[in-house]
Amino acid sequence: MGVGIKVENLNAWFGKHQALHSINMDILPNHATAIIGPSGCGKSTFVRCLNRMHETTPDARAEGKVQVKDMNIYGDGVAPVDVRRRIGMVFQKPNPFPSMSIYDNVAAGLKLNGYRNRKKLDEIVEKSLRSSALWDEVKDDLKKKSGASLSGGQQQRLCIARALAVEPDVLLMDEPASALDPISTSKIEDLIFELKENYTVVIVTHNMQQAARVAEFTAFFLLGKLIEFDKTEKIFTTPTDKRTEDYITGRFG
Query: Where do contacts with another protein occur on this chain (CB under 8 A)?
Result: 51, 53, 56, 58, 81-86, 88-89, 91, 93, 95-101, 108-109, 112-113, 145-149, 159, 162-163, 166
**Cβ 239 vs Cβ 245: under 8 Å:** yes
Residue closer to another protein (CB basis): 157 or 162 = 162
Whole-number minimum distance, CB 98 to another protein, in Å?
6
CA distances from 15 to 46, 52, 54, 58, 237 (A): 16, 16, 12, 8, 38
Beta bridge partners, 228, equal 220
DSSP 60-97: EEEEEEEEETTEETTSTT--HHHHHHHEEEE-SS----
What spatial distance separates the first Cα and last Cα of the chain, rounded to whole Å? 36
Residue closer to another protein (CB basis): 17 or 144 = 144
Residue closer to another protein (CB basis): 5 or 212 = 5
Residue closer to another protein (CB basis): 22 or 146 = 146
Whole-number minimum distance, CB 230 to another protein, in Å?
29
Whole-number minimum distance, CB 214 to another protein, in Å?
21
Residue closer to another protein (CB basis): 100 or 212 = 100
Whole-number minimum distance, CB 113 to another protein, in Å?
6
Residues 6+ apart with CB under 8 A from 209: none
**Cβ 145 vs Cβ 101: under 8 Å:** yes
Whole-number minimum distance, CB 175 to another protein, in Å?
13
Q: For residues 140 and 162, give the distance between their C-alpha atoms in angstroms, rounded to a whole number.
A: 18
Residue closer to another protein (CB basis): 162 or 243 = 162
119 burial level (CB within 10 Å; 0-12, 13-18, 19+): exposed
* Helix (H) / strand (E) containing 163: helix 152-165
Whole-number minimum distance, CB 108 to another protein, in Å?
6
